[in-house]
Amino acid sequence: FLPHTYPQKPPLCQLVTTGNGSFRFNPNLYACGKVCLSLLGTWSGPAWDPNVSTLLQVLVSIQSLILVPDPYFNEPGYERSMGTRQGKISSENYNKTIKGGTISHAMCDILQSPPPEFAEVIRNHFLLKREAILKQSS
C-alpha cells in the first residue's frame, strides 16, 4: 500500500496469508500480518531514505532477506547456531512447520477461496504446476 506520504515515507506492507492471524511463516512475518524490515520502519537497520529508497528495493529486500531457504536463522540471535549440528536440526524442524503452514494457508486456503479477479490465474497455476508442487510437498 502506498500512503499519500509516499515516497517521503515508506510503503505500508501487510502479510494477508496468515491463516486468519494463526500462523507465522517467518521470524520477519508475524501472524498479525506485520512485515519486519528496516526499510519499512518496522525493524532496526538501514531506514527508508526518500531520496534513494524505492518500492523495488523493498520488494527485492523481502525476496532476498525474508523469503530465504532457512528462515529460522532470521530470528535474532539464532544466526549464532548457523553451521552447527543443533542449528541444522532446529532449522529443519522450523522448515517442516513452515511447509505445513504453507500448504494449509498459502495453498489450500487460496484454492478454496480465491479472490474472484484472480481465480482463473490461481487455478491454472496450480494445474500447470501440480506435479512439481506434489513432489515438493511430499
Q: What is the pLDDT of residue 88?
A: 98
CB 35 within 8 A of CB 66: yes
Residues of the chain scoring pLDDT < 50: none
| C-alpha cell belonging to residue 66 | 525474508
For residues 35-62, one letter each, b for 16 or more C-beta atoms within 10 angstroms of the residue's C-beta and e for the rest, the string is bbbebbeebeeeebeeeebeeeebeebb
Task: Return the domain boundaries, the chain.
Answer: 1-67, 81-138
Q: What is the pLDDT of residue 65?
A: 96
Q: What is the pLDDT of residue 136?
A: 86
Q: What is the pLDDT of residue 70?
A: 98
Question: Would you call 36 a catalytic residue per the annotation?
Answer: yes
Q: What is the pLDDT of residue 138?
A: 77
Strand partners, 34: 14
How far is the first Cα of the chain from the last one, in angstroms, to the nearest whole number?
35
- Distance CA(72)–CA(81), nearest Å, equals 10
Q: Which of 48, 17, 47, 38 is nearest to 114 (CA)?
A: 17
